[in-house]
C-alpha cells in the first residue's frame, strides 16, 4: 500500500489538487451574497468523495476495469433510456435521477463509460490502421448514447461525446481521407441538424454566437455580463471576493457555467494564466499517461479523456468569453455539480492507475 | 502492445499534445484581448451598471405670514410600502394582503404586476400618510406579511387647513405633461407646487436636490453607499399675508360664497385674500379619492376657484367711482355739477330706473355717490363715449391684470368698441344704450375682486397703481428675521386733487350718512376706525317687482359688494369684498369690510400679534407629542 501511494503520479496529483483548491475558492466567492453561500462546502464534499474514488481506482488494475466496460456500457444505455421515462424534469429537460434528495445525471458518467468501451473494443486488435467496420462500430457505439441524450434534450452533453469519435480513430491510424470524410459528415450533419433536429432555442444560441450583441436582454445577456466581468478583471483582477459583477449578482449562474468568469474577474489575467497553465499541464500529463500505457485500449482511453477534458475547457472557457456558443458545458474543478465532479475524478483515477501500472511494470 | 506500434503512437500523441497546448495558448490570447486590451472599456461598463446616482429630495422652504406665523410646515409622513424586490407573486398572498389592508384585491394585483416592470429602486406605496389607526393596522398586518415596510417621507402640512387654501395652493408630483413641455428642468418624481403660491413661488421655495452615490445589485437594490452631496433646503419665505386678518375673513364669510382682498397701500402687499368656499390643501397631498372629487371638483359651488383673482363679477355701484372719475377728467361734469333724479330717466327711447323709485331729487356728485343714485350716473355715462370710459380705466390700470404673484389670474372686463367687435362678432356695433348700463356697473362690465381692490387702492393713494403681491421676503435662517424682497414699483398717475377730494368726500358720506350708514354696526366701527367705501349690489337677474325679492331662489339673488379704504385721513389699506347672492352691498358686504377694518385698526393694534383662537390654536401650535 505504501509503495502504491509513493508510486502515485505526484505531478498529476499536484495539478489536480491545485485546480481543486482554486475551484473551491472561486465557488466560495461566487456563493457569497446569494442563497448558495454554502455551495463551496457542498462541492468540497463532492471533491473529497471524488478524490477517494480516484485513489481507489488508481489502485485498481485497469485491465479489470476494461473487462467490465461492456456490461457498464449496456447499463449506461438502460440508464439513459430510463431517465427519459422516470427522470426529473428541470427547466424543460429530463436529465436527472433523484436519489435521496440528490440529483444525479447519468449522461455525465456515460460519457466515460462509452469512452472506456470504445477504447476497449478498438484496442482489442493490435493494428496500426483502423478497419472500416471498426470505425463504423465505433460510430455506432457513440451514436446510441448521443441520440438518447439528445432526446433529453442536452445538445452540449451530446456533443461532448465527439472527441471519442475523433481521437481514438486518429490514434488508431485513421487516414487523412477519412478525417476529411468525417469533417464533411459533421458539416453535412450540422446543416441537417440545423434544418431538422435543433430546437428553436438551440438555433437561437447559435445565432447569438454569430452576433452576441443582437440579444443583450435575452440569452446574450448572460454572455455579455460575463465578458464585462472578465474584461473588468484586467491584469491582476479586482481582488478576491471583490468583483462587482460577481458580488452584485450581475453575473448569472456563477456557481456553474460562469464560475470561470468569477475567477477571471477577481484574479485577472494572471489568475487566468495560472488556471489555463494548470489545465495545460493536466492535458499534457494525461497524454503522457497515454504514451506510457501498456495496452492500446489504455492509451486510447487516456487520449480520449484528454480530448474530453480539452473540449470542456475549450467550450466553457471560450463560451464565457463570448468566443464560442453558450452550450452549458461545465468546467472541471470549477463548476459545482455532483455527477460531473465524480465522473471527472473517476476518469482521472483510471488514468492514475494506468500511470501507476506503467511505472511498477 | 506491439513495440513496433509504439513510435507511431508516440508521434500521434505528440501531435495531440501540441494541439492541447495550442488550445491553451488560443484561450490565453482571447483572455489577453479582453483583460489587457479592452480592460478599460469593460471596467467602465461594470461601473456603469453597478454605480447609481440617486437624488435626495431637498425639503421645500416653509411659508410664514408677515408676523412669522407658520402657514406651511414640513413634517415627516409615514407610508406603508413594499420594496420592489420583495413584491409578492402568489395570487393568494396578494388577495389576503389586500383584504387585510382593506384594499381592492384586483386593483392591488394590477398595481403589483405593473410595478414589477416599472422603475427600479422606488418602493410601491400601498397606503400613504398613515394616521394612528393606519400605523396600528400596519403593525398588525406586518406580522403576517413581513415584506411590508414603513417608509418615512417629507410631507407638506398646511397649518390653517382651509384658512388660506387658495393663496397657498398645494404641491404634488411633477406630471408628464410638464416634463415634456420643459425638458431637462424636472426629474421624475420631483415635488413641485401645483397651485397658488406653491406654484408661483416654486422656484424660490424649492431647494437644490442632493445626490447619493450608491452601489446597486442586479435587481437595483442598494448594496452600499459611498458618499453623497447633501440637499440644500429651499429658503423659507414670508408672505405679506396677516394670518389674523385672514382668519377674520374666514369667519366672516362662514357659509357664504365670495371673495375679499385687502391691500397694504404702502407696497401693494396682500394683507388678506380669502375666497369662499375655501379648500384644505392638506387633502390634495394624498391621491384623489372619490370623496375628494365630489367634495371639491364636482361641487357646483366650485371651491377650487380662487374667486379673488378668477371670479368675474359685475361691480355694480362700486363702479360709479370710475364713471365719476372719467366724467370729471373728460370734463362732462365738475365737482359741482347737480343732476336731477326723478326715479327714472329715458335715454334713446328706453326708461332706465333708479334704485329709489320716488327719485332722489337734485344731487351733487358727492350726494350721488353717497346715495348711489343711478340716474346721476346714467346721465354722466350718456355724456361720454364707451371708449372715453375705457381710456380712463386703462389710464388707472383697471383694464389689466394686476400681476399678482399667483397663477391664472383673470383679467377684468371693461368694455370698449374694440372689445365688442371681438367678443360679439355677430353684433359688433356698440349701442349708446349699453354705455348707460355700464355707467352703474352692470351690463358687459366684469371685475375681479383683486382688480376692484387695486382700483380703490389707486383712489386712496391718489393715483398710485400698485402691483398686488404676496411675496414679502426671505427668512434669514440664522436670525429668523425677514430679509425683504424688492417691492414692485407702482405706476404713478396723479389724480387732480380737486377731483380726488370730491370722490373721497363721496366715499366718506357713503359710510357716514349714505347707503352704508343704515347699519348701526358700521356706524359704530366707522367712528372707531374711520373707513370709507362704496356699496354695490350687482344684479344677477332682473326683477320688475322687488316685493317678491325675498322669495327668490338664493342663486338668483344679487351679489353684494363693498370696496373702499381706511383710515380716511392717511389711508393704509384698501379692500374689496364680494358676497355672492347675498342681497344688498350694505347689508352683506359692508359688515365684512367693517369687521376687517375693526380688526386691523382696533383689535390688532391693541394686541399686535393676533392671539390664536378657535381653529387656529391647533395649526399654529408646535407638533403635538404622541401620547405615551
**Bridge partners, B187 (sequence order):** none
Closest CA to B197 of B51, B72, B355, B22: B72
Lowest model confidence (mean pLDDT) among A144-153, A186-195, B139-148, B588-597: A186-195
Closest CA to B593 of B504, B518, B505, B526: B526
Q: Where are the beta strands (DSSP E) in chain A?
A: 88-90, 93-99, 102-104
What is the pLDDT at residue B200? 94
How far is CA B26 from each of CA A23, B22, B574, rounded to the nearest angstrom?
22, 6, 91
Alpha helices, H only, B237-363: 243-253, 290-292, 307-310, 320-330
Confidence class for position B460, pLDDT limits 50, 70, 90: very high
What is the pLDDT at residue B619? 32
Nearest CA-CA distance, residue A202 and chain B, Å: 24
* pLDDT at residue B210 is higher than 70: yes
What is the pLDDT at residue B510? 94
What is the pLDDT at residue A316? 93
* pLDDT at residue B13 is higher than 80: yes
CB contact under 8 A, B34 and A244: no
Q: Please give the share of chain A, as a percent, with pLDDT higher than 70.
A: 92
Among A161-170, B219-228, B548-557, name the most confident range: A161-170
Q: What is the pLDDT of residues B194-207, one digit of tens each?
A: 999 999 999 999 98
What is the pLDDT at residue A186? 75
A178 touching chain B per CB within 8 A? no
- Provide the grid cell at B613: 383662537
Q: What is the pLDDT of residues B216-240, one digit of tens each?
A: 888 777 788 888 889 898 999 999 9
What is the pLDDT at residue A207? 66
Q: What is the pLDDT of residues B515-532, one digit of tens each?
A: 888 888 888 898 888 999
* pLDDT at residue B610 is higher than 70: no
Cα(A6)–Cα(A10) distance, integer angstroms: 8
Provide mean pLDDT across the span B532-555: 67
Provide mean pLDDT across the span B394-407: 95
Grouping H, G, I as helix, E, B as strand and the rest as coil, residue B573 is: strand
B116 touching chain A per CB within 8 A? no
Cα(B491)–Cα(B398) distance, integer angstroms: 12
* pLDDT at residue B49 is higher than 90: no
Among A162-176, B110-124, B334-348, name the most confident range: B334-348
What is the pLDDT at residue B322? 97
Which residues 221-260 on chain B approach chain A with CB closer than 8 angstroms?
223
Cα(B34)–Cα(B320) distance, integer angstroms: 88
Which residues 305-324 on chain A approach chain B with CB closer than 8 angstroms?
306-307, 310, 313-314, 317-318, 321, 323
CB contact under 8 A, A244 and B8: no
Grouping H, G, I as helix, E, B as strand and the rest as coil, residue B624 is: coil
Residues of B in contact with A167 (CB under 8 A): 16
A 10 A CB-CB count for B434 gives 18
CB contact under 8 A, A234 and B10: no
* pLDDT at residue B620 is higher than 50: no
What is the rounded average pLDDT for all residues in chain A? Answer: 86
Which residues 154-173 on chain A approach chain B with CB closer than 8 angstroms?
167, 170-171, 173
What is the pLDDT at residue A29? 95
CB contact under 8 A, A227 and B46: no
What is the pLDDT at residue B155? 82
Q: Name the helix (H) or strand (E) containing B472.
A: strand B471-475
Q: Tell which of A167, A226, A244, A253 to mutate to test the B interface (max B CBs under 10 Å).
A: A244
What is the pLDDT at residue B169? 95
* pLDDT at residue B618 is higher than 50: no
Q: Please give the share of chain A, as a percent, with pLDDT higher than 90.
A: 49
What is the pLDDT at residue A128? 67
Confidence class for position B359, pLDDT limits 50, 70, 90: very high
Q: Please give the residue that has the higher pLDDT: either B176 or A53.
A: A53
What is the pLDDT at residue A93? 79
Q: What is the pLDDT of residues A275-330, one digit of tens each?
A: 999 999 999 999 999 998 888 899 999 999 999 999 999 999 999 998 887 667 89
Q: What is the pLDDT of residues B271-303, one digit of tens each?
A: 999 999 999 998 887 766 677 778 888 888 899
Of B24, B32, B215, the CB nearest to A279: B24
What is the rounded average pLDDT for all residues in chain B? Answer: 86
What is the pLDDT at residue B6? 80
Grouping H, G, I as helix, E, B as strand and the rest as coil, residue B63 is: strand
**ipTM summary value:** 0.91
Provide mean pLDDT across the span B597-601: 92
Q: Which residue of B has its CA nearest to A230?
A: B35
What is the pLDDT at residue A221? 81
The yes-or-no answer on residue B275 being catalytic is no
Cα(B99)–Cα(A280) distance, integer angstroms: 63
Confidence class for position B428, pLDDT limits 50, 70, 90: very high
| Length of chain B measured in residues | 628
Cα(A232)–Cα(B358) distance, integer angstroms: 100
Amino acid at each position: 500500500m505504501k509503495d502504491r501511494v509513493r508510486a502515485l503520479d505526484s505531478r498529476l496529483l499536484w495539478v489536480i489538487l491545485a485546480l481543486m483548491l482554486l475551484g473551491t475558492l472561486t465557488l466560495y466567492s461566487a456563493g457569497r451574497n446569494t442563497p448558495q453561500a454554502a455551495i463551496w462546502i457542498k462541492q468540497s464534499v463532492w471533491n473529497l468523495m471524488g478524490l477517494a474514488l480516484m485513489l481507489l481506482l488508481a489502485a485498481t488494475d485497469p485491465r479489470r476495469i476494461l473487462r467490465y466496460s461492456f456490461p457498464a456500457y449496456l447499463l449506461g444505455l438502460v440508464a439513459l433510456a430510463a431517465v427519459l421515462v422516470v427522470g426529473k424534469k428541470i427547466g424543460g429537460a429530463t436529465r436527472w435521477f433523484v436519489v435521496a434528495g440528490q440529483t444525479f445525471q447519468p449522461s455525465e458518467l456515460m460519457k466515460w463509460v462509452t469512452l472506456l468501451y470504445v477504447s476497449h473494443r478498438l484496442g482489442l486488435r493490435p493494428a496500426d490502421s483502423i478497419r472500416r467496420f471498426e470505425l463504423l462500430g465505433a460510430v455506432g457505439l457513440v451514436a446510441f448514447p448521443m441520440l438518447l441524450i439528445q432526446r433529453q434534450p442536452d445538445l452540449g452533453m451530446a456533443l461532448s461525446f465527439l472527441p471519442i469519435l475523433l481521437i481514438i480513430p486518429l490514434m488508431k491510424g485513421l487516414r487523412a481521407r477519412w478525417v476529411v470524410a468525417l469533417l464533411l459528415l459533421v458539416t453535412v450533419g450540422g446543416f441537417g441538424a440545423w434544418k431538422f433536429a435543433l430546437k428553436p432555442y438551440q438555433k437561437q444560441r447559435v445565432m447569438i454566437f454569430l452576433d452576441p450583441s443582437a440579444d443583450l436582454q435575452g440569452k446574450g445577456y448572460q454572455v455579455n455580463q460575463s465578458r464585462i466581468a472578465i474584461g473588468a478583471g484586467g491584469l491582476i483582477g479586482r481582488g478576491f471576493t471583490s468583483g462587482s459583477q460577481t458580488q452584485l449578482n450581475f453575473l448569472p449562474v456563477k456557481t456553474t457555467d460562469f464560475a470561470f468568469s468569477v475567477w477571471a474577474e477577481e484574479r485577472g489575467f494572471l489568475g487566468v494564466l495560472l488556471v489555463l497553465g494548470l489545465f495545460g499541464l493536466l492535458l499534457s500529463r494525461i497524454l503522457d499517461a497515454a504514451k506510457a500505457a501498456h495496452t492500446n485500449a489504455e492509451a486510447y482511453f487516456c487520449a480520449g479523456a484528454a480530448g474530453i477534458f480539452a473540449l470542456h475547457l475549450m467550450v466553457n472557457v471560450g463560451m464565457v468569453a463570448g468566443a464560442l456558443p453558450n452550450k452549458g458545458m461545465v468546467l472541471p474543478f470549477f463548476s459545482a455539480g455532483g455527477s460531473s465532479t465524480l465522473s471527472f475524478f473517476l476518469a482521472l483515477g483510471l488514468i492514475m492507475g494506468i500511470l501507476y501500472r506503467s511505472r511498477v511494470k | 502492445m506491439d513495440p513496433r506500434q509504439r513510435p507511431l503512437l508516440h508521434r500521434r500523441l505528440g501531435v495531440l499534445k501540441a494541439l492541447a497546448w495550442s488550445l491553451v495558448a488560443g484561450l490565453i490570447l482571447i483572455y489577453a484581448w479582453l483583460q489587457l486590451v479592452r480592460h478599460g472599456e469593460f471596467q467602465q461598463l461594470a461601473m456603469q451598471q453597478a454605480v447609481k446616482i440617486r437624488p435626495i429630495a431637498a425639503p421645500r422652504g416653509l411659508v410664514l405670514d408677515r408676523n412669522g406665523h407658520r402657514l406651511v410646515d414640513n413634517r415627516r409622513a409615514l407610508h406603508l410600502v413594499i420594496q420592489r424586490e420583495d413584491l409578492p407573486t402568489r395570487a393568494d398572498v396578494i388577495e389576503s394582503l389586500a383584504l387585510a389592508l382593506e384594499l381592492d384585491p384586483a386593483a392591488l394585483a394590477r398595481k403589483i404586476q405593473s410595478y414589477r416592470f416599472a422603475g427600479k429602486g422606488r418602493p410601491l406605496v400601498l397606503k400613504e400618510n398613515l394616521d394612528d389607526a393606519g400605523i396600528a393596522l400596519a403593525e398588525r398586518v406586518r406580522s403576517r406579511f413581513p415584506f411590508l415596510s414603513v417608509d418615512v417621507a417629507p410631507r407638506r402640512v398646511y397649518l390653517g387647513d382651509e384658512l388660506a387654501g387658495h393663496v397657498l395652493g398645494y404641491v404634488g408630483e411633477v406630471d408628464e405633461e410638464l416634463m415634456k413641455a420643459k425638458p431637462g428642468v424636472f426629474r421624475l418624481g420631483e415635488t413641485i407646487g401645483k397651485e397658488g403660491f406653491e406654484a408661483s413661488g416654486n422656484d424660490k421655495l424649492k431647494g437644490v436636490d442632493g445626490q447619493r452615490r450608491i452601489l446597486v445589485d442586479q435587481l437595483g437594490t442598494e448594496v452600499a453607499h459611498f458618499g453623497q452631496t447633501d440637499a440644500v433646503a429651499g429658503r423659507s419665505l414670508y408672505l405679506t399675508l396677516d394670518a389674523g386678518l385672514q382668519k377674520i375673513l374666514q369667519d366672516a364669510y362662514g357659509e357664504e360664497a365670495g371673495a375679499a382682498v385687502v391691500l397694504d397701500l404702502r407696497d401693494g402687499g396682500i394683507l388678506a385674500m380669502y375666497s369662499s368656499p375655501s379648500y384644505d390643501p392638506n387633502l390634495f397631498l394624498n391621491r384623489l379619492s372619490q370623496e375628494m372629487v365630489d367634495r371639491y371638483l364636482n361641487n357646483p359651488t366650485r371651491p377650487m376657484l380662487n374667486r379673488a383673482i378668477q371670479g368675474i363679477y359685475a361691480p355694480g355701484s362700486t363702479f360709479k367711482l370710475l364713471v365719476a372719475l372719467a366724467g370729471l377728467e373728460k370734463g362732462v361734469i365738475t365737482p359741482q355739477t347737480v343732476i336731477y333724479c326723478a326715479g327714472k330717466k329715458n335715454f334713446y327711447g328706453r326708461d332706465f330706473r333708479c334704485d329709489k323709485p320716488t327719485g332722489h331729487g337734485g344731487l351733487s356728485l358727492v350726494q350721488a355717490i353717497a346715495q348711489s343714485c343711478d340716474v346721476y350716473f346714467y346721465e354722466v355715462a350718456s355724456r361720454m363715449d364707451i371708449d372715453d370710459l375705457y381710456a380712463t380705466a386703462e389710464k388707472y390700470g383697471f383694464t389689466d391684470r394686476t400681476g399678482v404673484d399667483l397663477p391664472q389670474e383673470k383679467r377684468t372686463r371693461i368694455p370698449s368698441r374694440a372689445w365688442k367687435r371681438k367678443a360679439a362678432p355677430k353684433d359688433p356695433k356698440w349701442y349708446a344704450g349699453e354705455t348707460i348700463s355700464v355707467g352703474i356697473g352692470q351690463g358687459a362690465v366684469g371685475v375681479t375682486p383683486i382688480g376692484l381692490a387695486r382700483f380703490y387702492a389707486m383712489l386712496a393713494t391718489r393715483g398710485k397703481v400698485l402691483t398686488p403681491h404676496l411675496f414679502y421676503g426671505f427668512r434669514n435662517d440664522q436670525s429668523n428675521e425677514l430679509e425683504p424682497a424688492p417691492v414692485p414699483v407702482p405706476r404713478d398717475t396723479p389724480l387732480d386733487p380737486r377731483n380726488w377730494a370730491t370722490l373721497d368726500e363721496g366715499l366718506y358720506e357713503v359710510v357716514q350718512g349714505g347707503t352704508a350708514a343704515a347699519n348701526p354696526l358700521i356706524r359704530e366701527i366707522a367712528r372707531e376706525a374711520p373707513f370709507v367705501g362704496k356699496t354695490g349690489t350687482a344684479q344677477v337677474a332682473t326683477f320688475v317687482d322687488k316685493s317678491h325679492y325675498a322669495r327668490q331662489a338664493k342663486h338668483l339673488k344679487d351679489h353684494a359688494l363693498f370696496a373702499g379704504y381706511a383710515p380716511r385721513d392717511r389711508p393704509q389699506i384698501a379692500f374689496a369684498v364680494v358676497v355672492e347672492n347675498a342681497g344688498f352691498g350694505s347689508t352683506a358686504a359692508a359688515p365684512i369690510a367693517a369687521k376687517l377694518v375693526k380688526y386691523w385698526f382696533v383689535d390688532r393694534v391693541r394686541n399686535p400679534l393676533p392671539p390664536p383662537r378657535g381653529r387656529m390654536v391647533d395649526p399654529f401650535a408646535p407638533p403635538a407629542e404622541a401620547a405615551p
